Structure 1
Amino acid sequence: MNASTTGLYLNDHMLGARTVVELVAHRIERGDGPAWLQQFHAELQRDLGVVEQLAGRFETPKAPKQAVGWVAEKVAQLKLKVDAMADETIRDLLELELMRTGVEGKACLWRSLLDFADDPRIADIDLTALIDRAAAQADELEVHRRESARAALGG
């Protein structure tokens, strides 16, 4: 595995994972956190920990402060826009779709790394279990996303 390109790849996934972790935390803080969301948040944090661990094993670039600031600002703007939506059912649907997108991206990461499972830098990571967990998360989110879509779009 090329340490430099893998590092870049992991860095991008780390930023995406942090964004979804923050989105879920924000929803829980708002009081919109059913029991399943608490468990999902805990799993997302564990998965982020794995990505951070892997990033430490590769040439993961340190993002310039300006880029991190820009991303943080855009996430904050998104949160404000989502919070300001008058229709909570649409907000819920969009948030669930963003969460689902994050889980699908994470699953892609795990499947990409699986092709290099014999690399000593990732050999101790149970990628198959992570892929299975991402699939279970996606299935759970899809149930809630469809419920939310019916509520938001059905009237």
Structure 2
Amino acid sequence: MPNELERVPRTRTILLWGARLLVVAALAALLLAARRQRSAELDLVQKDHDATERRVTEIYGKAADQLGSDKAPVRLAGLCALERLAGGYAEHRQTIVNVRCSYVRMPVGGPGENLEELQVRKTAQRILLVHRRPGPARPTGRTGASGRTSAST
């Protein structure tokens, strides 16, 4: 009988330590799963940010190329693309304002400046005037090279 009495506490102790070990292992597995989840979420956020930056760079590059065109409607399209970009990505707004200002400050072709170039420059000035205050971009009504007014969203 004494052997049997000794076995019960020993068995309980073994079971208790086994249960504790199992809880520690489960907590470690839970912690590992949480870390993996967090890492996957951070990777997703980084990939999304990278894709957004690539998209902004692509739109910005095309708009800058359009501003360098010799055709007024293409330059107007470049200004509109920059306006959409500034409205959607506040962190790039100041750079875009700087580009517009540089465009307006560029020397013109001479005393016989054509009417289309004048219209492009007035549009650039109008966009700058509407967005002169910090804050979210506001929709504007502006006149394009054709003389028609279009609303920007």
Judge same fold: TM > 0.5, yes or no. no
Bigger Rg, structure 1 or 2: 2
